[in-house]
């Protein structure tokens, strides 16, 4: 008989993680529908090192849930969106447009390590948001200056 492969170990780890979670119903609540994803991720982690189930949940949330909130937890994202718009009086923070089609913009883009914290979100009109894309504020301002200079020169 051949020796068990990595998938076998992963299966064993998955069962262990499931058992840990069953003993901690509050963590199951916290994970919600990410539970299966968490179990797979955790099993992978446990093949490398042993960690406390609470630490693992916290790390998983930091790495996968918080950074991808707007893709995955629509309800929470909609609530956050509304809070950001209200805080900014439904005014685009980049050009001053009031109302219209507004979107929350990540001041420091997610791709560059920004978070979904309210402090990192600014109300933006659709046009400014499309132009800013994944630029930082500095890059966006430089881009706008270059664009204006281009218009003036040509
Ligand atoms: Zn704007």
Q: What is the pLDDT of residues 100-132, one digit of tens each?
A: 999 999 898 877 778 888 899 999 998 898 888
Residue 110's CB: how many other CB atoms inside 10 A? 17
Torsion of CA 140, 88, 69, 50, to 10 degrees: 90
Average pLDDT, the chain: 84
Domain locations along the chain: 6-66, 77-153
* pLDDT value, residue 112: 76
How far is it, in rounded angstroms, from Cα 85 to Cα 123? Answer: 6
How many A from CA of 131 to the centre of ligand 1? 9
- What pLDDT score does 31 carry? 85
Q: Report percent pLDDT > 70 for the chain.
A: 88
Rg (CA), the chain: 22
Q: How confident is the model at residue 69 (pLDDT cuts 50, 70, 90)?
A: low
Distance 68 CA to ligand 1 centre (A): 24
Ligand 1 centroid distance, CA of 41 (Å)? 40
Q: Which residue has the higher pLDDT, 18 or 60?
A: 18
Q: What is the mean pLDDT of residues 43-68?
A: 75
For residue 91, what pLDDT is reported?
A: 97
Q: How many angstroms separate the alpha carbon of residue 34 from the centre of ligand 1?
A: 35
Do 113 and 136 touch, CB atoms closer than 8 A?
Answer: no
The alpha carbon of 76 and the centre of ligand 1 are apart by a number of angstroms equal to: 24
Both structure tokens of 95: 């050009």
pLDDT tens by residue, 83-95: 999 999 999 999 9
Q: Backbone phi, then psi, for 105, in 5-degree steps?
A: -110, 140
Bigger pLDDT: 15 vs 71: 15
**What CATH code is assigned to 77-153?**
1.10.30.50
Ligand 1 midpoint to CA 124 (Å): 5
**Angle at 56 (CA atoms; ends 47, 106), nearest 5 degrees:** 120
pLDDT of 86 reads 97
Residue 129 alpha carbon to ligand 1 centre in Å: 7
Q: Directed axis angle between helix 53-60 and helix 35-46, to 10°?
A: 120
Q: pTM of the full predicted structure?
A: 0.54
């Amino acid at each position: 008989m051949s020796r068990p492969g990595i998938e076998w170990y992963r299966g064993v780890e998955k069962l262990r993680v499931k058992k840990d979670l069953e003993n901690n119903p509050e963590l199951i609540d916290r994970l919600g529908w990410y539970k299966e994803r968490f179990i797979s991720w955790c099993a992978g982690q446990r093949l490398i090192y042993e960690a406390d189930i609470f630490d693992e949940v916290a790390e998983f949330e930091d790495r996968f849930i918080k950074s991808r909130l707007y893709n995955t937890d629509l309800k929470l994202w909609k609530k956050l969106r509304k809070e950001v718009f209200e805080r900014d009086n439904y005014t685009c923070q980049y050009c001053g447009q009031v109302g219209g089609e507004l979107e929350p913009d990540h001041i420091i883009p997610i791709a560059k390590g920004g978070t979904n914290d309210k402090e990192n979100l600014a109300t933006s009109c659709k046009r400014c948001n499309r132009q800013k894309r994944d630029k930082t504020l500095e890059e966006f301002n430089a881009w706008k200056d270059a664009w204006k200079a281009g218009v003036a020169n040509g």
